[in-house]
Structure 1
Amino acid sequence: MIKEALQYIVGMGKAEIHERNGQDWSDKQLHLLEAPVASPFTAHTLSGLVGYLKSNFDKRDAAIIHVASPTTVTVKSPLNADENRNYFLKAEALIPEFYFDRWYDTEDFNIKLQSCFVNSDDRDVMLKVVGNITEDQVKTVSDDGVSQAVVARVGVATVGNVEVPNPVALAPYRTFVEVVQPESDFVFRMKDGPRCALFEADGGAWKISAIENIRKYLEASLKDQIEHGRISIIA
């Protein structure tokens, strides 16, 4: 224990520099004292991010906007002498919750269709089908593995065969509300319960469209700053 303590005390002494084979060596490990960098605060809209950048509140010479995903955009500074960046702001989209690949009962599914999706023809057809089926009717479904047909009310007192659209083109709210919500294909399925589910069928291509929509919005909103070289956008 005494030996280790003495070694620790010796190690606390001033570092000595030695030259070996044309290189400088220290007899102690050295740690770089890096310049401090800013931590981000969070906004939840693109308009808030644009307002911050236009105000130049932090007196930045330049900034980089990184569209990291359909729901996240960051604002950072160029690299400093330590190869680090100030992290000024992070914008995170607030989007309603809808779980794909999950079965909902018809009441919950009906509400989710109306609150989490942009109005469209396919959405309206699905609402009519989902709102007019019962458990017994789903059990007598006609299913060829791709499309389904169920017996549903088509009038006040009549029933008829209604084909369930498949695939369906829908635009869920899944990026910032200031930009166009990208439309993509989904597999719509039903089973006894009755229960309904949507399964994504575009391989994630919607994410590229959403990022592109964000980039276009920022370019239009920050045109002057971009032209004067104060802001760069990476998407």
Structure 2
Amino acid sequence: MLREALSYIVGLGNNAEKVQVLEICGETYANKRLERYGAPKRASAIEAASLSAMVDYIASCSSEFPDCHNMIIEIVGPEEVNLVSALDMERKRECLFTCRAEISKYHFDSWYDQERFMIEIQSNFVQSTDRDILVKFAGNVEQKNNATYSDDGKTQVATMSTGVASKSDVIVPNPVYLAPYRTFQEIEQPFSNFVFRMGDKEVPAFSLIEAEGGLWKNEAVNRIKEYFRKALEGMPESIRERIVIIG
């Protein structure tokens, strides 16, 4: 009985491994993913973190482009750009190069305590007037209490140290116009508006919330396109005429 049971189980496994070909409504299907022998081989993409690396590759290694095929610089978004070939005879593309940006690690819509906020805002945002205002404000705001902190949903007021022994009530800056490091370093980081909030907590806490619905992404993509346009202008026509920029 045990032998028969084991044989039955082994048989089920063997049947599951078999490739079954079915025809349904005039279409042919297989229950396994089949790899065709003799299929064209495709290279693995080179990966880098900068746009300049892709420009160097295009300028120096254009001989690696598939024969008689144009190449497409595909700008997926502010953080990713791919160099892919046009469709081949099998209606497939080959990706030769991928760029992924190293971006800010700041977490929007999260609360930071006073010291951490000052570190994050200076290390993850481009220097600007509003950034400096936030640093000054966060570094001098006093621990809140009922008399020194108010919030009506639109405007927040807090007590801030203004000297060795003096204090004054100031309006929390809002909105603020900032440029986080959120795309490739070769292009100018796009600015956008953020809502700045102080938290109703025991100690000073601060948060930034994106306030433009991601419109900065279109600006970043356009700047990446312009970066590649200028880079291609300095290359031989034999290379330029084979490159299309899409984004």
Q: Common fold, TM-score beyond 0.5?
A: yes
> What is the distance in 2 between the residues matched to 1:179 and 1:114?
19
Q: Which runs of 5+ in 2 are unaligned?
A: 1-6, 20-25
> What is the distance in 2 between the residues matched to 1:138 and 1:122?
28
Q: Which runs of 5+ in 1 are unaligned?
A: 13-22
> What is the distance in 2 between the residues matched to 1:139 and 1:105?
21
Aligned residues: 217
| Cα offsets for 1:2-38 (capped at 9, x unmatched) | xx9xxx9xx99xxxxxxxxxx9x9xxx9975531212
Aligned to 1:52: 57
> What is the distance in 1 between the residues matched to 2:216 and 2:168?
35
Amino acid at match of 1:49: M
Alpha-carbon offset, residue 49 of structure 1: 0.9
Amino acid at match of 1:121: T
Find the partner of 2:168 among 160, 180, 190.
160
> What is the distance in 1 between the residues matched to 2:75 and 2:146?
43
> What is the distance in 2 between the residues matched to 1:122 and 1:213?
23
Q: CA RMSD in A?
A: 2.8
Amino acid at match of 2:136: K
1:177–1:138 distance in 2 versus 1, CA, 3 Å: farther
Find the partner of 2:205 among 195, 198, 223.
195
1:90–1:153 distance in 2 versus 1, CA, 3 Å: same
Structure 2 residue 189 is the aligned partner of structure 1 residue 181: yes
| Cα offsets for 1:164-200 (capped at 9, x unmatched) | 1111110000000110101001110012221100000
Amino acid at match of 2:166: T
> TM-score, normalised to structure 1's length?
0.83
Structure 2 residue 225 is the aligned partner of structure 1 residue 221: no
1:215–1:137 distance in 2 versus 1, CA, 3 Å: farther
Structure 2 residue 246 is the aligned partner of structure 1 residue 231: no
Tell me whether 97-106 or 137-146 shows the greater mean CA deviation: 137-146
Runs of 4+ residues over 4 Å off in structure 1 = 29-33, 224-227
Alpha-carbon offset, residue 114 of structure 1: 0.5
> What is the distance in 1 between the residues matched to 2:147 and 2:198?
10
Instruction: Work out the percentage of aligned pairs sharing the same amino acid.
Output: 40
Aligned to 1:74: 82
